[in-house]
Protein backbone atom coordinates (compact mmCIF):
# COMPACT_ATOMS: atom_id res chain seq x y z
CA UNK A 1 0.00 0.00 0.00
CA UNK A 2 1.39 3.37 -0.92
CA UNK A 3 0.57 6.86 0.17
CA UNK A 4 1.69 9.63 -2.08
CA UNK A 5 2.56 13.13 -1.02
CA UNK A 6 4.06 15.91 -2.96
CA UNK A 7 2.29 19.19 -2.42
CA UNK A 8 3.02 19.21 1.31
CA UNK A 9 6.73 19.18 0.62
CA UNK A 10 6.57 21.78 -2.11
CA UNK A 11 8.49 19.46 -4.36
CA UNK A 12 8.49 18.93 -8.03
CA UNK A 13 5.64 16.48 -8.71
CA UNK A 14 8.23 14.01 -9.94
CA UNK A 15 9.75 14.01 -6.47
CA UNK A 16 6.70 12.63 -4.82
CA UNK A 17 7.17 10.74 -1.60
CA UNK A 18 6.22 7.12 -1.29
CA UNK A 19 5.54 5.74 2.11
CA UNK A 20 5.14 2.01 2.14
CA UNK A 21 2.98 1.07 5.07
CA UNK A 22 3.38 -2.16 7.02
CA UNK A 23 2.41 -4.65 4.42
CA UNK A 24 1.64 -8.26 5.12
CA UNK A 25 3.00 -11.64 5.99
CA UNK A 26 5.40 -11.56 3.05
CA UNK A 27 7.82 -9.42 4.97
CA UNK A 28 7.20 -11.31 8.20
CA UNK A 29 6.07 -8.19 9.99
CA UNK A 30 9.31 -6.44 9.23
CA UNK A 31 9.29 -2.70 9.50
CA UNK A 32 8.38 -1.78 5.99
CA UNK A 33 8.08 1.94 5.69
CA UNK A 34 10.23 3.25 2.91
CA UNK A 35 9.71 6.91 2.24
CA UNK A 36 11.82 8.18 -0.54
CA UNK A 37 11.83 10.44 -3.50
CA UNK A 38 11.87 9.46 -7.11
CA UNK A 39 15.63 9.85 -6.91
CA UNK A 40 15.91 6.42 -5.37
CA UNK A 41 16.42 3.98 -8.20
CA UNK A 42 14.30 0.92 -8.65
CA UNK A 43 17.43 -1.14 -7.98
CA UNK A 44 17.80 0.51 -4.58
CA UNK A 45 14.12 -0.08 -3.91
CA UNK A 46 14.60 -3.74 -4.75
CA UNK A 47 17.67 -3.98 -2.56
CA UNK A 48 15.75 -2.40 0.29
CA UNK A 49 13.05 -4.97 -0.15
CA UNK A 50 15.59 -7.79 -0.22
CA UNK A 51 17.14 -6.45 2.94
CA UNK A 52 13.72 -6.43 4.53
CA UNK A 53 13.14 -10.04 3.64
CA UNK A 54 16.56 -11.49 4.26
CA UNK A 55 16.44 -11.36 8.02
CA UNK A 56 15.32 -14.41 9.90
CA UNK A 57 15.55 -15.90 13.33
CA UNK A 58 16.92 -12.91 15.19
CA UNK A 59 16.79 -12.60 18.94
CA UNK A 60 16.17 -8.88 19.00
CA UNK A 61 14.34 -6.50 16.70
CA UNK A 62 15.26 -2.92 17.34
CA UNK A 63 14.64 0.40 15.66
CA UNK A 64 17.67 2.64 15.20
CA UNK A 65 17.55 6.31 14.16
CA UNK A 66 20.28 8.04 12.17
CA UNK A 67 19.94 11.72 13.00
CA UNK A 68 21.82 14.87 12.12
CA UNK A 69 21.85 17.88 9.79
CA UNK A 70 21.78 17.67 6.01
CA UNK A 71 24.75 16.22 4.14
CA UNK A 72 26.71 15.07 7.21
CA UNK A 73 26.79 11.53 5.77
CA UNK A 74 23.96 9.59 7.45
CA UNK A 75 22.91 7.79 4.27
CA UNK A 76 26.55 7.19 3.36
CA UNK A 77 27.28 5.58 6.74
CA UNK A 78 24.30 3.26 6.38
CA UNK A 79 25.29 2.41 2.82
CA UNK A 80 28.82 1.57 3.98
CA UNK A 81 27.48 -0.56 6.84
CA UNK A 82 24.73 -2.39 4.93
CA UNK A 83 26.19 -2.62 1.41
CA UNK A 84 29.88 -1.86 1.93
CA UNK A 85 29.61 0.80 -0.77
CA UNK A 86 30.12 4.55 -1.10
CA UNK A 87 28.58 7.14 -3.39
CA UNK A 88 30.31 10.47 -3.91
CA UNK A 89 27.20 12.27 -5.26
CA UNK A 90 24.94 13.90 -2.71
CA UNK A 91 21.35 12.73 -3.02
CA UNK A 92 19.35 14.18 -0.18
CA UNK A 93 17.09 11.82 1.72
CA UNK A 94 13.50 12.85 1.24
CA UNK A 95 11.53 12.17 4.42
CA UNK A 96 13.02 8.91 5.61
CA UNK A 97 14.50 5.72 4.18
CA UNK A 98 14.47 2.44 6.04
CA UNK A 99 16.73 -0.56 5.71
CA UNK A 100 17.18 -3.61 7.84
CA UNK A 101 20.35 -5.42 8.74
CA UNK A 102 21.15 -8.38 10.96
CA UNK A 103 23.98 -7.86 13.39
CA UNK A 104 25.74 -10.79 15.07
CA UNK A 105 26.33 -10.10 18.74
CA UNK A 106 29.17 -11.30 20.90
CA UNK A 107 26.77 -13.53 22.87
CA UNK A 108 26.14 -15.42 19.58
CA UNK A 109 22.66 -13.94 19.25
CA UNK A 110 21.44 -11.84 16.34
CA UNK A 111 19.82 -8.42 16.41
CA UNK A 112 17.76 -7.24 13.47
CA UNK A 113 18.19 -3.54 13.08
CA UNK A 114 15.54 -1.47 11.41
CA UNK A 115 17.63 1.54 10.44
CA UNK A 116 15.69 4.76 9.95
CA UNK A 117 17.69 7.21 7.86
CA UNK A 118 16.07 10.52 8.70
CA UNK A 119 16.38 13.28 6.09
CA UNK A 120 18.29 16.19 7.64
CA UNK A 121 17.16 19.00 5.33
CA UNK A 122 15.31 21.78 7.14
CA UNK A 123 12.32 21.37 4.86
CA UNK A 124 11.56 18.00 6.53
CA UNK A 125 11.65 19.34 10.08
CA UNK A 126 7.87 19.41 10.38
CA UNK A 127 7.50 15.71 9.63
CA UNK A 128 10.58 14.07 11.06
CA UNK A 129 9.57 13.62 14.69
CA UNK A 130 6.81 11.31 13.45
CA UNK A 131 9.59 8.87 12.51
CA UNK A 132 10.99 8.72 16.05
CA UNK A 133 8.28 6.67 17.73
CA UNK A 134 9.44 3.31 19.09
CA UNK A 135 13.15 3.90 18.52
CA UNK A 136 15.51 2.00 20.82
CA UNK A 137 18.60 4.03 20.02
CA UNK A 138 20.11 6.72 17.85
CA UNK A 139 23.31 7.54 16.05
CA UNK A 140 23.81 11.30 16.09
CA UNK A 141 26.00 12.40 13.20
CA UNK A 142 27.84 15.63 12.52
CA UNK A 143 30.36 16.60 9.84
CA UNK A 144 33.96 16.98 10.99
CA UNK A 145 34.52 19.64 8.32
CA UNK A 146 31.59 21.86 9.43
CA UNK A 147 31.68 22.98 13.08
CA UNK A 148 28.10 24.27 12.97
CA UNK A 149 26.83 20.73 12.46
CA UNK A 150 28.36 19.73 15.82
CA UNK A 151 26.46 22.55 17.50
CA UNK A 152 23.25 21.56 15.75
CA UNK A 153 23.56 17.90 16.73
CA UNK A 154 24.47 18.42 20.37
CA UNK A 155 21.91 21.14 20.94
CA UNK A 156 18.95 20.66 18.64
CA UNK A 157 18.97 17.04 17.48
CA UNK A 158 19.93 15.43 20.78
CA UNK A 159 17.20 17.38 22.55
CA UNK A 160 14.66 16.45 19.88
CA UNK A 161 15.49 12.75 20.13
CA UNK A 162 15.25 12.79 23.94
CA UNK A 163 11.98 14.71 23.85
CA UNK A 164 10.41 12.22 21.47
CA UNK A 165 12.04 8.94 22.50
CA UNK A 166 12.97 9.41 26.16
CA UNK A 167 16.44 8.52 27.42
CA UNK A 168 17.42 6.03 24.72
CA UNK A 169 21.08 5.13 24.17
CA UNK A 170 22.98 6.88 21.43
CA UNK A 171 26.41 7.22 19.93
CA UNK A 172 27.85 10.55 18.77
CA UNK A 173 29.68 10.42 15.45
CA UNK A 174 31.96 12.91 13.74
CA UNK A 175 31.93 11.76 10.11
CA UNK A 176 34.21 12.49 7.12
CA UNK A 177 37.37 11.76 9.12
CA UNK A 178 39.19 11.23 5.83
CA UNK A 179 38.88 14.98 5.13
CA UNK A 180 40.35 16.19 8.42
CA UNK A 181 43.91 16.07 7.18
CA UNK A 182 43.04 18.27 4.21
CA UNK A 183 40.59 20.66 5.89
CA UNK A 184 42.12 20.73 9.37
CA UNK A 185 40.32 20.47 12.72
CA UNK A 186 37.33 22.80 12.86
CA UNK A 187 36.21 21.73 16.33
CA UNK A 188 37.83 20.17 19.40
CA UNK A 189 37.32 16.37 19.43
CA UNK A 190 37.88 16.38 23.20
CA UNK A 191 34.80 18.55 23.56
CA UNK A 192 32.77 16.00 21.58
CA UNK A 193 34.16 13.14 23.69
CA UNK A 194 33.35 15.01 26.90
CA UNK A 195 29.85 15.85 25.73
CA UNK A 196 29.25 12.19 24.87
CA UNK A 197 30.65 10.97 28.20
CA UNK A 198 28.50 13.45 30.11
CA UNK A 199 25.50 11.97 28.33
CA UNK A 200 26.51 8.38 29.08
CA UNK A 201 27.54 7.84 25.50
CA UNK A 202 30.68 7.57 23.41
CA UNK A 203 32.17 9.61 20.59
CA UNK A 204 33.62 8.03 17.44
CA UNK A 205 35.14 9.53 14.32
CA UNK A 206 34.13 7.72 11.14
CA UNK A 207 34.65 7.80 7.42
CA UNK A 208 31.89 6.47 5.22
CA UNK A 209 34.35 6.86 2.37
CA UNK A 210 37.07 4.63 3.81
CA UNK A 211 34.96 2.67 6.28
CA UNK A 212 36.88 3.76 9.38
CA UNK A 213 34.91 2.95 12.56
CA UNK A 214 31.63 2.46 10.68
CA UNK A 215 30.97 -1.14 11.73
CA UNK A 216 32.24 -0.29 15.20
CA UNK A 217 29.67 2.51 15.56
CA UNK A 218 26.73 0.36 14.50
CA UNK A 219 27.83 -2.55 16.70
CA UNK A 220 28.37 -0.22 19.65
CA UNK A 221 24.87 1.24 19.43
CA UNK A 222 23.34 -2.21 18.86
CA UNK A 223 24.98 -3.59 22.00
CA UNK A 224 23.71 -0.61 23.94
CA UNK A 225 20.19 -0.99 22.53
CA UNK A 226 19.87 -4.64 23.46
CA UNK A 227 21.43 -4.07 26.88
CA UNK A 228 24.73 -5.90 26.33
CA UNK A 229 26.54 -2.68 27.13
CA UNK A 230 25.63 0.24 29.35
Ligand X SMILES: Nc1nc2c(ncn2[C@@H]2O[C@H](COP(=O)(O)OP(=O)(O)OP(=O)(O)O)[C@@H](O)[C@H]2O)c(=O)[nH]1
Binding site for ligand X (CB under 6 A): 70-76, 87-90, 92-93, 119-121, 175-176, 178-179, 207-209
Q: How far is the CB of 101 from ligand X (least distance, A)?
A: 16
Which residues are within 8 A (CB) of 203 and not within 5 positions of it... i.e. 6 or more apart? 171, 172, 173, 174, 189, 192, 193, 195, 196, 197
Those residues whose C-beta lies under 8 Å from the C-beta of residue 5, and which sit 6 or more positions away, are: 16, 17, 19
Alpha-carbon gap, residue 215 to 78, rounded angstroms: 10
**Does 100 help bind Mg ion (rule: CB under 5 A)?**
no
Whichever of 125 and 188 has its CB closer to ligand X, that residue is: 125
Q: How far is the CB of 63 from ligand X (least distance, A)?
A: 18
Under rule CB under 5 A, residue 51 binds Mg ion: no
Q: Residue 73 touches which of ligand X, Mg ion, none (CB < 5 to 8 A by kind)?
A: ligand X
Under a CB-based contact definition with an 8 Å cutoff, are residues 23 and 1 in contact? yes
**Residue 73 C-beta: closest distance to ligand X, Å:** 3
- Which of 212, 213, 202, 71 is CA-nearest to residue 149? 71
DSSP class of residue 94? -
Q: Return the one option of Mg ion, ligand X, none that residue 178 interacts with (CB less than 5 to 8 A, by type).
A: ligand X
Site for Mg ion (CB under 5 A): which residue of 32, 40, 93, 136? 93
Q: Which partner, Mg ion, ligand X, none, binds residue 193 by CB below 5 to 8 Å per kind?
A: none
Contacting range for Mg ion; rule: CB under 5 A; set: 12-20, 68-76, 166-174, 177-185:
68-76
What is the C-alpha separation between 113 and 63, in angstroms, rounded? Answer: 6
Query: At its nearest, how many Å lie between ligand X and the CB of residue 147?
Result: 16
Q: What 3-state DSSP class applies to 137?
A: strand
Question: In the stretch 72-91, what mask flags binding to Mg ion with x, by CB under 5 A?
Answer: --xx----------------
DSSP β-ladder status, 137-143 and 110-118: unpaired
Using CB under 5 A, list all residues that contact Mg ion: 74-75, 93
Amino acid sequence: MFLRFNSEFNLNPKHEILIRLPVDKVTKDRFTTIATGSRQSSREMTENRENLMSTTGSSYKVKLLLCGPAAVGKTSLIKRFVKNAFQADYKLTIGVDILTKDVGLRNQEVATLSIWDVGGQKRFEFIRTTFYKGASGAILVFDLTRAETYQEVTKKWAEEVTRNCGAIPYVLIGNKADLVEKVGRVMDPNEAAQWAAANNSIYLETSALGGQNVDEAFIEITERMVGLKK
